[in-house]
Amino acid sequence: MMNIVYFDLETRYSAAQVGGWGEAGKMGISVAVTFSTRDNEYHIYTQDEADSLITELKEADLVVGYNHIGFDYQVLQPFTFWTMAETTRNLDICAYLTHRLGHRLKLDSVATPTLRGNSKTAEGTDALKWWAEYEKEGDPQKLIDIARYCCYDVKVTMEVYKFGAQNGYILYLDKQGNEVRVEVDWPC
C-alpha cells in the first residue's frame, strides 16, 4: 500500500514580521501536522522536532498538501540541507490547480463545494495570534489550538484529495461564487 502523507504547517511569524514572503525560512514553525496512510494517524510536530518531520516527509511515497511546495517547504528549508521539493514526491493541490486554471485558489474555495460544506475552521492569522499569545503567556492551550486548526486543515486537504482521486474531478467556487468543475488525475 502506498504511504501518502498529508501535510500542513503553521508559522510563528507572518511574512510582514520577517521582511516579506521571500523570507519564509525566517517564519519558524509553531506546529506542523501530517497524516500518514501507512499508520492511519496524525502526527504533530513542533519546530524542535523538524528533523523527525523531514524524515517522515522524505520517506513518504507521496506528500500531499495545499501550497506546501511554494510555502511550507520554504519554511522548512532552514532545518535541512535537502531541497524538500526535490527529495520528496509531491502533489501540491494548489500548484496543480494553478497550473490547470491559470490562477490561484484558496483551500476554502475548493473544499466548500467539493466537500459540501466542510471547510477551514479558522485562518492562518488566527494561528499567528495564538502563537503570539503562547509566547507571551506560555499557555499550552494556545499550542493545542494551533495543532487542532492545523489538523483540521490536513483533514480538509486529505478529503479534497481523496474526492478528486476517487471521482476524477473536484469543484471550486469562482470569483462570482459559481461552482466550477475541474477534472483531476490524481493517484488513488
Write down the pLDDT at residue 117: 65
Three-state SS at 34 = strand
Write down the pLDDT at residue 116: 85
Which of the two residues, 58 and 118, has the higher pLDDT score? 58
Average pLDDT, the chain: 93
Report, as an integer, the average pLDDT of 176-181.
Answer: 92
pTM (two decimals): 0.93
Q: What is the pLDDT of residues 91-150, one digit of tens each?
A: 999 999 999 999 999 999 999 999 986 555 556 688 999 999 999 999 999 999 999 999
End-to-end CA distance of the chain: 10
Q: C-alpha cell of 132? A: 503570539
> Angle formed by the axes of helices 140-167 and 93-101, to 10°?
50
Assign a CATH topology to domain 4-183: Nucleotidyltransferase; domain 5 (3.30.420)
Three-state SS at 178 = coil
Query: Which amino acid does the sequence have at 123?
Result: E
Report, as an integer, the average pLDDT of 76-95.
Answer: 95
Write down the pLDDT at residue 1: 80
Report, as an integer, the average pLDDT of 23-41.
Answer: 96
Write down the pLDDT at residue 123: 65
Report, as an integer, the average pLDDT of 62-89.
Answer: 96
Residue 62: burial class (beta carbons within 10 Å; 0-12, 13-18, 19+): middle
DSSP 33: E
Domain extents in the chain = 4-183
DSSP 60-128: -SEEEESSIIIIIHHHHGGG-SS-HHHHS-EEEHHHHHHHHHSS---HHHHHHHHTTT---SS-HHHHH
Write down the pLDDT at residue 124: 65
The yes-or-no verdict on residue 90 having pLDDT over 60 is yes
Query: Which amino acid does the sequence have at 40?
Result: N
Torsional sign, CA 151, 152, 156, 159: positive
